[in-house]
Amino acid sequence: MNKAARSSPRVASIWRIRFVWLVLVILLLVVTGRLIQLHLFESEFLKHQGDARTLRVEPIPAYRGMITDRHGEPLAVSSPVATLWINPQQFPDNAEAVRRLAEQVGETPQWLARRLQRFSEHEFMYLRRQVTPDLAEEVLALQLPGVYARDEYKRYYPSGEIAAHLVGFTNIDEQGQEGLELAWNHWLEAEPGRKRVLKDLRGRTVRNLATLQQPRPGQDLTLSLDLRLQYLAYRELKAAVEQHNAVSGSLILLDARSGEVLALVNQPSYNPNNRVKMNASGMRNRALVDLMEPGSVIKPFSIAVALQSGVFTADDTINTSPGVIRLAGQTIRDFRDYGELTLAGILTHSSNIGVSRMILELPDDLLVNYYNELGFGRATGTGFPGEASGVLPGDSDISRIKRATLSYGYGLSVTLGQLAQAYMALADQGRLHPLSLLKVKETSSTPVFDAEVTSQVLKMMERATQPGGTGTRAAIPGYRIAGKTGTVHKLGTEGYRSGNYLATFAGIAPASDPRLVAVVMLDSPKGQEYFGGEVAAPVFSRVVGHALRILDIPPDDPEQIPRQ
């Protein structure tokens, strides 16, 4: 073989090597150029993309403000919990993972599989809201991809159904839905913070990098309630409703000197910690949102108006014979013919005729004007959601029959809260205090009656709770009690319903130096006892009697304490 033939393969081999090196150099230059481009011109974009995959801004939960009674006892608190969630796109697509996770949270694999299928195109799905931290740790310990937990708070009500109507409740996101939780949501509401965290490829937090905004917890709210008296009132009212098979009942207890609500209870009630069986009837705060005709419990105010007018004195008498009168085609009756009655006698015997004839001798608009000053026909101003204003007729062209019926509590509608507020004017020397559901530092009042007038009315009301009166069962050994009973026919679609009553009692204690005002109402008590003096007055006696001792208010009639 000649020399040229032998060199030809070698030359081809050298060129192939050179070509490979050339390709490698070109590739190296391309890679180097790309690296230079990325580092010099696209570094910010790449950094942002990297951070987007590893850095996250997460909320820092903050707790809602606590609601307490006047002594600091908790009525609503926020407890730390955890919420479990899943990224369905990261969760393993196998039956074993579904089974393990479902069993851990107390559900069936079929339930979890359906939810995962439903949210398969999403990156977020709730697994369980507001579980205990222990359960959350057990679930995370399974180390299943796509399963996460975040911290939250859950509202808890230590007193349960005892204070539910007043406190109310929040939804799962801790937004007020009922009661003072709703009314003061702006005050109690927390503002969550924000933090930047570093996460790994599985979404687990590796490190907290920075706090972007500090969380702001909600502000605490101190109510006027005394939880001791609230428990007491709830127990006694519930027992009375069950004993008399009543449809419902309400009780409100006030501090006569400040207007603070010390206890407010209703039956039926509900447990805000367990809302499975909650119904609208049990959720209603009847003492502040339900209207009723007050009936005879309004008569002390008619007496006070008559005395304040100067037309009548405490020693004047009214002829109630023959026990029945007719006005504008309507009949007004007494239980029997009481004959001549003093003003105190009118209260003691609860004479409709006596109070009607007395009011009819006064100027036409006087009674309505005083009712308006006492707060009837307008909300008490507590700020409670849905509080009713009531109905009070205007003072223009009011007929004689309307004036007569108004004098003994028919023809107007009030709430139990309005009635209790009005009674404070009798208890505190004619001064009317605003009703308050919050603990107050300074009290205010508006004069309605002269102190001498209310002093005379209180003495007359005392006789109504003594032998011969209608409210003897309201008596409390060792204390002088001033009060008035009421038994009102309930109004139906076709007029007043026979055999269906509202039984009420409103009272003040101690009568010599009033400290407490209480009003009790039972709706439609069934059985032989249905009068206010029979079913409502005993509840007043038990609740106010215990309250006087709990508050260490000394007896003003110690001689009446039974000796053992």
What mean pLDDT do residues 394-409 have? 88
What mean pLDDT do residues 519-537 have? 94
Superfamily covering domain 58-222: Penicillin-binding protein 2a (Domain 2) (3.90.1310.10)
Per residue in 119-175, pLDDT tens?
A: 999 989 999 999 999 999 999 999 899 999 888 999 999 999 999 999 999 999 999
What pLDDT sits at residue 48? Answer: 56
pLDDT band at 21 (very low <50, low <70, confident <90, very high): confident
Q: Which CATH code fits 227-278+291-560?
A: 3.40.710.10
pLDDT above 60 (res 47):
no
Per residue in 30-40, pLDDT tens?
A: 888 777 766 76
Region of poorest pLDDT, from 167-181, 216-230, 384-398: 384-398
**Cα 451 from Cα 449, distance rounded (Å):** 6
Region of poorest pLDDT, from 345-359, 368-382, 411-425, 495-509: 495-509
What pLDDT sits at residue 200? Answer: 61
**Cα 458 from Cα 462, distance rounded (Å):** 6
Average pLDDT, the chain: 90
Per residue in 431-489, pLDDT tens?
A: 999 999 999 988 899 999 999 999 999 999 999 999 988 999 999 999 999 999 999 98
pLDDT band at 9 (very low <50, low <70, confident <90, very high): low
pLDDT above 60 (res 522):
yes
**Cα 522 from Cα 538, distance rounded (Å):** 12
Give the pairing of strands 147-156 and 176-178: unpaired
What mean pLDDT do residues 61-69 have? 93
Domain residue spans of the chain: 58-222, 227-278+291-560
What pLDDT sits at residue 356? Answer: 96
Amino acid at 167: V
pLDDT band at 2 (very low <50, low <70, confident <90, very high): low
Question: CB-side exposure of 478: number of CA atoms within 13 Å?
Answer: 13
**Cα 370 from Cα 388, distance rounded (Å):** 20
Per residue in 256-312, pLDDT tens?
A: 999 999 999 999 999 999 888 788 888 999 999 999 999 999 999 999 999 999 999
Is 104 in contact with 180 (CB distance < 8 Å)?
Answer: no
Is 263 in contact with 229 (CB distance < 8 Å)?
Answer: yes
Amino acid at 289: V
Is 246 in contact with 240 (CB distance < 8 Å)?
Answer: yes
Does the annotation count 541 as an active-site position?
no
Catalytic residue among 258, 296, 351, 524: 296
Per residue in 182-194, pLDDT tens?
A: 999 999 999 888 8
- What are the two backbone dihedrals, phi and then psi, of residue 153, each rounded to the nearest 5 degrees? -125, 145
| Residue 65 burial (10 A CB sphere; 0-12, 13-18, 19+) | buried
What mean pLDDT do residues 529-555 have? 96
pLDDT above 90 (res 28):
no
What mean pLDDT do residues 507-523 have? 97
Is 178 in contact with 283 (CB distance < 8 Å)?
Answer: yes
Q: Which of 552, 551, 544, 555 is nearest to 236 (CA)?
A: 544
**Cis amide prior to 192 (ω within 30 degrees):** no
410's tokens = 């028919």
What pLDDT sits at residue 198? Answer: 73
- Residue 89 DSSP SS3: coil
From residue 432, give the alpha-carbon distance in Å to each of 290, 399, 445, 489: 22, 28, 5, 29
**Cα 132 from Cα 80, distance rounded (Å):** 8
Per residue in 330-381, pLDDT tens?
A: 899 998 999 999 999 999 999 999 999 999 999 999 999 999 999 999 999 8
Tell me how crowded residue 83 is: count the other CB atoms within 10 A of its CB.
19
Give, in degrees to the nearest 5, the angle at Cα 336 between 330 and 342. 95
What pLDDT sits at residue 68? Answer: 98
pLDDT band at 199 (very low <50, low <70, confident <90, very high): low
- Residue 529 DSSP SS3: coil
State the pTM of this model: 0.85
pLDDT above 80 (res 491):
no
What mean pLDDT do residues 71-90 have? 94
**Cα 146 from Cα 143, distance rounded (Å):** 9
